[in-house]
Amino acid sequence: MRWGTFGVLSLSLPLGMMSNAGAQEVTAAVEPAEPETPTLEIGDNALPGGDLISYPAALPARVVAAAVSLGGGMRNTLLGPAHKMKRGTTSAGVGFSPTPWLSASLELTGYYDSHSGTGFTGTGAVGEPHLTLRAGKFDGKMGFGGQVRVWVPGKDAPSIVPGATSADLRGLFLTQAGPARVAINAGFRLDNSAATVEDDMGGRVVYTEVVDNVSVGVSEWSAATGGIRVAYPTGKLVIGAEVMAEYYVGEDAPGLAVLAQGDVRLALSKMLTAEFYVSGSKMPGVTLTEVASGAIPLIAYQPVIGAGIGLQARFGGSKSPVIVGGGDGGTGGGEDTPPPAKLGNLTGRVLDDAGQPLANATITVTGTDGKVVTATSGADGTWSVEGLPLGDVNIEVVASERIASKSVVSVREGANSVADTALAPQLPPGTIYCKIRDFSGKPVQASVIIEPGGKTIQTAADGSCEVPIAPGTYSVTVSAPGYRAQTTTYVVDQNGSTIVGAELNK
């Protein structure tokens, strides 16, 4: 059994990326909503990310996270046709973020191997603590960061070998791609763990059992690393898939190893998340000559296929779920507040009848929630309104000595553009005068309907009326009880007078 303890190394500081929205010339007095930031998964090391790929994000303020996992896997024919290896794995981690951009965790990982097959019997166990320091920030859309993971392996428990101190250095990137998030890691593992299997003379230990070479969990070579994770949150579930490639470097290095995992995480409560995962690997092979000579390349051999379960918990801060969409995404203040409503913005332009920008027009927008927001067009005719609820809104555009315009627009999340609004001038009105008689010349009190517009006027007892109206062509219908209705077309001129002199028949 081999165990080690951890040491402390320095931390390099990365850059965080934050979005910055540009201001518009004319805006309504409505406060824009903060961007909604999705919450993030917690990995085996109790920090945001998957089990293989890390996120450049911190835990929420005042939150301590814990993660445990238990699993198993198998690999056959690694050392020969009859060789079978079964592995049980376990891990436990605790993470904390003292600032919105800095995180630290301590994780204990271990496994137990059982080998069988003719000539390949034996067992082996390895346990190691790992210290992770991470810096970075995710604003809900994009983030960059960096991470260092340090461990000091030992020989027989309890022991440490300072010369075996190893470190995994990574650059981290995360972006929100629609509902999904995509994380990319790239870096280098400086691996000195093979120092734990050197004898007193500085040579490599010769194991009595050949299977110990593949269970000792150390590597003779450092490795360049890189990988990707895609996670899709839906309701209380997050479905994730990740791949990590490790390319061993150095003299006689065995080449490429690939690790992969698929996982499903379910929010059991606001503080507890369960995980089920399946894993696989493609490791460099071992030749029969290497087995016969005992010179088996030392790398951390992994099962071809495996599966397991995990449990992640968070304590303190907000009680919103860790893995469900919405919330502070591990970057907020941890307050127990609901996620902000999804909102949209409107922009448009007001023109005159000649197509030129029209300034100082008043735009009134009535949202689905009944809230009324106003804006004023600028010198270039443009206007904007922010923070509107999603759905249909009513827009009215009014300008001095212009005919008002009304329309209905559907607002979607984010930016929305409204078609240009052209306002025609109001012409000086004309007048319609009514003089309604029957066939004998007797005055008749009648109803007068003017179309278009549906304007209805009741004449006086002497059959007269006076109606100011905009210039245009109108259809005028005159009706009275006991008389046949009469419809006639009239043209009204600017500042003109039009006489409706109907004679009604019974």
Q: How confident is the model over 81-91, as pLDDT tens digits?
A: 889 999 999 99
| Residue 422 in this model has a pLDDT that exceeds 60 | yes
User: In the structure, what pLDDT confidence band is assigned to residue 158 with cuts at 50, 70 and 90?
Assistant: low
| Residue 3 in this model has a pLDDT that exceeds 60 | no
141, 320, 328 from 333: Cα distances, Å:
18, 12, 7
Query: Could you give all domains of the chain from N- to C-terminal order, each with its CATH number?
Result: 2-7+45-315 (2.40.160.40), 343-423 (2.60.40.10), 430-504 (2.60.40.10)
Specify the 3-state DSSP secondary structure of 372.
Answer: strand
| Residue 327 in this model has a pLDDT that exceeds 70 | no
Say which range, 26-30, 148-152, 205-209, 252-256, has the weakest mean pLDDT: 26-30
Do the beta carbons of residue 353 and residue 425 sit within 8 Å? yes
Across the range 229-255, mean pLDDT stands at 93
**Token pair recorded at residue 187:** 């870096």
Higher pLDDT, 236 or 306: 306
Residue 106 CB burial class (10 angstroms; 0-12, 13-18, ≥19)? middle
Q: What is the biggest distance separating any 2 CA atoms in the chain, rounded to whole angstroms?
A: 137
DSSP, res 215: H
User: In the structure, what pLDDT confidence band is assigned to residue 198 with cuts at 50, 70 and 90?
Assistant: low
What is the chain's mean pLDDT, rounded?
Answer: 82
User: In the structure, what pLDDT confidence band is assigned to residue 200 with cuts at 50, 70 and 90?
Assistant: low
% the chain with pLDDT above 70: 84
What is the CA angle 296-297-302, rounded to 5?
A: 100
- 354-374: per-residue pLDDT in tens? 889 999 999 999 987 788 899
Burial 379-390 (b: 16+ CB within 10 A, else e): eebbbbbbbbeb
pLDDT at site 322: 43
% the chain with pLDDT above 90: 40
| Residue 204 in this model has a pLDDT that exceeds 90 | no
Pairs from 174-179 (Cβ < 8 Å, separation ≥ 24): 174/55, 174/56, 174/57, 174/138, 174/142, 174/143, 175/141, 175/142, 175/143, 176/38, 176/140, 176/141, 176/142, 179/232, 179/233, 179/234, 179/325
Specify the 3-state DSSP secondary structure of 38.
Answer: coil
pLDDT at site 326: 35
Across the range 100-116, mean pLDDT stands at 91
Distance CA 148, CA 261 (A): 22
**Token pair recorded at residue 294:** 């005992």
**Token pair recorded at residue 117:** 């097959």
DSSP, res 413: S
pLDDT at site 320: 46
pLDDT at site 335: 42
Distance CA 104, CA 172 (A): 15
User: In the structure, what pLDDT confidence band is assigned to residue 207 with cuts at 50, 70 and 90?
Assistant: low
Nearest to 486 by CA among 466, 471, 501: 501
Helix ranges (H only) for 217-263 are: none
| Residue 8 in this model has a pLDDT that exceeds 60 | no
DSSP output for 116-146: ESTT--EEEEEEEEEEEEEEEEE-SSEEEEE
Quickly count helices (H) and strands (E) in the chain: 2, 30
Say which range, 52-66, 152-166, 215-229, 446-460, has the weakest mean pLDDT: 152-166
**Token pair recorded at residue 295:** 């010179």
Across the range 70-76, mean pLDDT stands at 94
| Residue 330 in this model has a pLDDT that exceeds 80 | no
Distance CA 350, CA 360 (A): 9
**Token pair recorded at residue 316:** 């303190």
Say which range, 45-54, 163-172, 313-322, has the weakest mean pLDDT: 313-322
DSSP output for 50-98: -SSSB-S-PPPTT-EEEEEEEEEEEEESSSSTT-EEEEEEEEEEEEEEE
pLDDT at site 370: 81
Q: Which residues contact 504 (CB under 8 A, 6 or more apart)?
A: 436, 437, 438, 439, 444, 446, 478, 480, 483, 484, 486
pLDDT at site 206: 56
- Output the pTM of the full model: 0.58
Across the range 412-435, mean pLDDT stands at 86
Count how many residues are written for the chain: 506
